[in-house]
Amino acid sequence: MPTVYLETYGCQMNVADSELILGKLAAAGYSHTENPEGADVILVNTCAVRENAEQRVLGRLGDLKGHMHRDTVLGVTGCMAQRLGPRLLDSNSRVSLVVGPDAYRALPELIEAARKGERTVATDFDLEEHYDDFQARRFEGVKAWIPVQRGCDYRCTYCIVPYTRGAERSRGLDDVVRETREVVAQGLAEVILLGQTVNSWNDGTRDFGALLRAVGAVEGIRRVRFTSPHPNDFTDSVIAAMAEVPTVCEHVHLPVQSGSNAMLKRMLRRYTREGYFDCVARLRAAIAGVSITTDIIVGFPGETDAEFDDTLSLVREVGFDDAFTFKFSPREGTPATRMPAELTVPSDVVDARYTELLALVRSIARGRNMARLGERREVLVEKAARRGGELLQARSRDFRTVMVPSDAASIGDYLMVELTGTTGSTFTGTPVAERAHLPTAGQAAN
Ligand code: SAH
Ligand code: SF4
Ligand code: F3S
């Protein structure tokens, strides 16, 4: 059997795509290997969202050459493949395959051709493609990524995703429910529904609220999460479904990007600071104990001190449970790159703002976490903690990371723990006798 080795970069959508790719290749007779050395096929599933994501991949392609034998096929898939297309073949003589996110169906044939010496680029978009008939090869032992939407119809001016993933399309509700049932049959009880603006999911007659209700009601499902929603798509119907379906977890990752109205406008985020506050208020009013995390960009063109201060004050006012912070990275072909050069924020200013924002985000998260000490949570034991020892890493419904003393046999178990310590970002938990239970509708897990 020929072997395939695959590395994944970027967001959870790419992780899910890698599972689809490996499923497809398994069906075509490839066996998966965790070691690049001597593999017949090496695939790198890439991200293009920021320059440093791409630099990492280019460096890695160089390293991987050292593991290749003469006939190894080296392929690049994902968002960088879509963005750079033939340019990747020109700049990397050992790359023989460049395959974008909508072209994975053809991978077995493309790899065959590459093994015969052809070099191909497959980057056509296919607005019908959801890979519904693929059997994902899942690597997360206790939860399952389920793509429900591909592409993006927003056009945030900094973002490359609409160019690398094409137009938004929603996968059929029946297919999502069928996959959820299959996941349960495989022994998993947590699903994460994926889409770039996942709560805009719509099949023509039903909205994301209906999808949450359908997935959340699948027998044997215990936790439903989704990422990433867009603030504008949190209709009352979606929020009501979140509040009423007991399996939907009390966590929303709600990217804000900036706290300044002028900036939000330049970013074409299509909401205001006030609109964002309103969305947060509606979520908090409907869902007791909901935790809210976000993404923020610093140094977008034209960002003034006052605009950055607006971001800091928004962060304080919302009180995020956590946030990912990014330095703006210009992406070729996006509208942000056509803004006047004098709007570029000097890198020392970006660095200083980034440091200040990160410190604020961390101190707020720490305060919110400290306030939870002594509370109880149901956690799902996910994996061995990176630090090793006797600790396992578990996750609460409200997306807190909790280290629990246990052994590997408890991976996949749901436990009740008391939050006994916190580093400020993660917790330690002590198992308590109380049986883990599902909250009843309208009543959160705390
Ligand atoms: N679809 C998701 C975000 C996908 S990209 C959403 O709209 O919420 C993940 C995050 O990367 C974004 O939320 C943004 O904060 C960041 N990001 C995207 N493009 C970027 C760029 N050009 N420079 C810096 N950060 C960027
Ligand atoms: Fe990018 Fe905006 Fe679409 Fe998110 S909503 S993927 S940030 S264009
Ligand atoms: Fe990156 Fe593509 Fe995801 S650009 S963030 S892998 S959609």
Query: Is residue 16 lining ligand 3, measured as CB closer than 6 Å?
Result: no
Q: What residue ranges line ligand 1, CB within 6 angstroms?
A: 49-50, 158-159, 161, 196-197, 228, 230, 255, 257, 295, 297, 326, 328-329, 331
In the chain, the number of structural domains is 2
pLDDT at 120 (0 to 100): 97
Probe target for ligand 2 pocket from 154, 168, 200, 329, with the most ligand atoms within 8 Å of CB: 154
Host H or E run for residue 75 = strand 73-78
Q: Which of 104, 122, 140 is the last residue of a domain?
A: 122
pLDDT digits (tens, 9 = 90+) for 20-49: 999 999 999 999 999 999 899 999 999 999
Q: Which ligand does the CA of 14 lie closest to?
A: 3
pLDDT at 436 (0 to 100): 59
pLDDT at residue 444 tops 50: no
Peptide bond into 347 cis (omega under 30): no
Q: Does 412 map to a domain?
A: yes
The domain spanning residue 42 has which CATH number? 3.40.50.12160
The domain spanning residue 425 has which CATH number? 2.40.50.140
Query: Is residue 315 lining ligand 3, measured as CB closer than 6 Å?
Result: no
Q: Does 400 map to a domain?
A: yes
Which letter, b or e, does each residue of 156-166 get, where b requires 16 or more Cβ atoms within 10 Å of its Cβ? Answer: bbbbbbbbbbb
Within 10 angstroms of residue 351's Cβ, the number of other Cβ atoms is 13
Q: Which of 122, 144, 179 is the last residue of a domain?
A: 122
* Alpha carbons 45 and 78: distance in angstroms, whole number: 5
Q: Does 167 map to a domain?
A: no
pLDDT at 437 (0 to 100): 56
Q: What average pLDDT does the structure give for the chain?
A: 95
Query: Is residue 10 lining ligand 3, measured as CB closer than 6 Å?
Result: yes
**Quick one: which atom of ligand 1 is closest to the CA of 253?**
8
d(CA 306, ligand 2 centre) in Å: 25
Probe target for ligand 1 pocket from 49, 325, 327, 339, with the most ligand atoms within 8 Å of CB: 49
pLDDT digits (tens, 9 = 90+) for 48-96: 999 999 999 999 999 999 999 999 999 999 999 999 999 999 999 999 9
d(CA 210, ligand 1 centre) in Å: 27
pLDDT at residue 446 tops 50: no
Q: Does 339 map to a domain?
A: no
Q: Which of 77, 100, 122 is the last residue of a domain?
A: 122
Half-sphere exposure of 387 (CA within 13 A, CB side): 8
Q: Does 332 map to a domain?
A: no
Average confidence (pLDDT) over 230-253: 98
Contacts of 11 (CB under 8 A, 6+ apart): 47, 49
One-letter amino acid of 75: G
Q: Does 46 map to a domain?
A: yes
Range of the domain at 8: 3-122
Q: Is the pTM of this model over 0.75?
A: yes
Q: Does 351 map to a domain?
A: no
